[in-house]
């Protein structure tokens, strides 16, 4: 399956279990892989035959920066659901959300949640 990969998107959000996280916020990194046939836009060279990734970016930004979730699992699920609802040409989607500075007493590069969903 062909895919469009949007990687390294960064947003500022207020997600977390602890009240401090909801108050102070932090930067989140999001990657999405949109699995869909790309032969038609490859031949037509028309934006109407593919996913406008500028629009998809705005949808993701609205979710990450405009809503609050306790878990990054829920954040990833909402991103996947909204993109699948908006773009019916997407057959499958993978969403990765990295929380680089979780409030835990460990030294590491953060926590990443990755989900993969298929159109029913």
What residues does each domain of the chain span? Answer: 3-53+66-118
Tokens of 27: 């930067």
Q: Under a CB-based contact definition with an 8 Å cutoff, are residues 59 and 44 in contact?
A: no
Q: If you ran DSSP here, which 8-state letter would residue 48 be given?
A: G
Interaxial angle between packed helices 72-86 and 53-66, expressed in degrees from 0 to 180 and rounded to the nearest 10: 140
CATH architecture of 3-53+66-118: 2-Layer Sandwich (3.30)
Give helix then strand counts, H and E, for the chain.
4, 4
Burial of 111 (0-12, 13-18, 19+ CB in 10 A): middle
How high is the pLDDT of residue 11? 98
Residues near 91 by beta carbon (within 8 Å), at least 6 away in sequence: 1, 35, 36, 37, 118, 119
Q: Under a CB-based contact definition with an 8 Å cutoff, are residues 10 and 64 in contact?
A: no
Catalytic residue check, 3:
no
Nearest to 8, CA basis, from 32, 41, 38: 32
How high is the pLDDT of residue 32? 98
pLDDT in tens, the chain (120 residues): 899 999 999 999 999 999 999 999 999 999 999 999 999 999 999 999 999 999 999 999 999 999 999 999 999 999 999 999 999 999 999 999 999 888 877 777 788 999 999 988
Catalytic residue, candidates 61, 70, 99, 118? 99
């Amino acid at each position: 399956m062909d895919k469009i990969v949007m990687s390294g998107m960064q947003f500022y959000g207020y997600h977390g279990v602890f009240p401090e996280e909801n108050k102070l916020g932090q930067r989140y990194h999001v990657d999405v892989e949109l699995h869909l046939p790309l032969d038609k836009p490859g031949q037509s060279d028309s934006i109407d035959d593919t996913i406008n990734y500028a629009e998809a970016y705005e949808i993701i930004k609205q979710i990450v920066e405009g809503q609050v979730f306790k878990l990054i699992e829920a954040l990833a699920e909402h991103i996947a659901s909204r993109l699948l609802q908006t773009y019916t040409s997407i057959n499958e989607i993978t969403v990765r959300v990295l929380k680089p500075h979780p409030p835990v007493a460990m030294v590491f590069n953060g926590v990443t949640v990755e989900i993969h969903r298929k159109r029913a």
